A = this chain, B = another copy of it.
Amino acid sequence: MRIRDIEVFDLRFPTSRTADGTDAMHPDPDYSAAYVILKTDADLEGHGFTFTIGRGNEVCVAAIRAFCPFVLGRSLDDVVGNHAAFWRELASESQLRWLGPEKGVIHLAMAAIVNAVWDLYAKREKKPLWKLLADMTPQQIVSTIDFRYITDALSPGEAIEILERQERSKRDRERHLLRDGYPAYTTSAGWMGYSDEKIRRLCQEALAEGWTHFKVKVGASPADDEARLALVRKEIGPGNRLMIDANQRWDVNEAIDRVHALSHFNVWWIEEPTSPDDVLGHATIRNAVRPVGVATGEHVHNRIMFKQLMQAEAIDFCQIDSCRLGGVNENLAVILLAAKFGVPVCPHAGGVGLCELVQHLSMFDFIAVSGRIDDRVTEFVDHLHEHFVHPTIIRRARYVAPDAPGYSAEIKPESRRAHHYPNGSIWKEISSDESR
């Protein structure tokens, strides 16, 4: 099976119109996907994407196109037979790497392609991605990882040892997963731009649906944050878990003061208290705000940054992102690093399609790497799932293990057409409304 053609699309969803996804740094996101279809000479297509929040999605599309010459014409067997080498070819491409290296647009773009390759591979193997990964041997998993720049913290040998420790009991956990699903938390109630009334109603609905972990945006004025948290804590009661997310709003000392002021609400974690680049800042904050935990990752751009967050003991929760890191392969590296350092993986999701993707990685983590499910939860946000061919299924606040082959990445053709930017029907309507 060879990759014969690559189609790239700029898809955008006008989420800013309803304040969905609003936070202290991103008041008006239009959830978007720079979307890739790998066409083959067989009957299968690989679908993948990276996630952005609107403007600049076209820059990711341009970056994906820049990678196409290195992917076109490749056979799938060649790619997955030398998976780490393929990944490094893209990540360290001799001219493109200057634009990163391994960060920002070029890394987001690479994630879209890498994710599409895994979707294709899983479809060919007729397995959902989590199952494909769970069935691989420790050696096969490790052979997909580029260990460049992380060997001081995790060697291939150590990674194999971690995987081998779980090998014998994998089937038990797979049964557990299929029976009970994977625990999730909800961010749907706590967006910055929502009214009190809407937050109250959403909390009540979420409680009725069985949710036990609630995340709320902070980073507005201290009085606003206090009021929003008081509202949510009152609605969810003292027994449920409450997390707060500042979306990078604060400097280090400000973060410490602001978390201290909010910790009386019994906060499980503070997420993105400051710049995602500030490893040492996160370590300082973590030391100061205990027992509130520190979480970050949705903007942590590669395994080298996660390595340092763990080496510096800067985080309590590791929030991998399926599209910020360089696709599945680099997520596997970070999941293994987290297992070595004993940090629970609680992925970032939401956006468009991030839940669909990252559930697979959490499930693999549980079955084959950490073996843990009691100390970790995956984010869930109830937006835009209706656009997916195989949307996530949540039952009583748990992700149901997907059974369709692939990486659940495929957006319906009619949604792709309607949300194509700027010429899809949704955007034409908006622009004609605006010009009226």
Contacts and interface: CB of A to CB of B under 8 A. Distances in A.
B26 A98 contact: yes
B95 A104 contact: no
Chief secondary structure at chain A's binding surface: loop
A248 interface: yes
B106 A59 contact: yes
A385 interface: no
Given A55-B66, A59-B105, A105-B63, A95 B279 contact: no
A281 B152 contact: yes
Contacts of A248: 101
A104 B312 CA distance: 24
**Which of A59, A103, A106, A305 has the most chain B CB within a 10 Å cutoff?**
A59
Given A94-B25, A251-B149, A308-B280, A108 B101 contact: no
Interface string A247-281: 01001111000000000000000000011111111
B53 A274 contact: no
Contacts of A277: 102-103, 149, 301-302, 304-305, 308
Contacts of A284: 152
A62 B57 CA distance: 10
A29 interface: yes
Contacts of A17: none
Contacts of A99: 52, 56, 59-60, 104-105, 108
A425 interface: no
Nearest to A28: B94
Nearest to A254: B151
A311 interface: yes
Q: How many copies does the complex hold?
A: 2
Given A94-B27, A106-B105, A279-B280, A251 B56 contact: no
A94 B302 contact: no
A140 interface: no
Given A104-B104, A105-B104, A55 B95 contact: yes
A7 interface: no
Contacts of A53: 95, 98
A148 interface: yes
A105 to B, nearest CB: 4
Contacts of A100: 104
A428 interface: no
A97 interface: yes
Given A25-B94, A149-B274, A279-B280, 13 more contacts: A26-B94, A52-B95, A55-B66, A59-B59, A63-B105, A101-B248, A104-B104, A152-B252, A152-B284, A277-B305, A277-B308, A278-B308, A281-B308
23 contacts: A26-B94, A26-B95, A29-B95, A29-B98, A52-B95, A54-B95, A55-B96, A56-B63, A56-B96, A58-B62, A59-B59, A59-B62, A103-B301, A105-B105, A149-B278, A150-B251, A151-B254, A152-B251, A275-B304, A277-B301, A277-B305, A279-B280, A281-B304
Closest 9 CB pairs of A and B: A104-B104, A105-B105, A55-B95, A152-B252, A54-B95, A149-B275, A62-B62, A277-B304, A53-B98
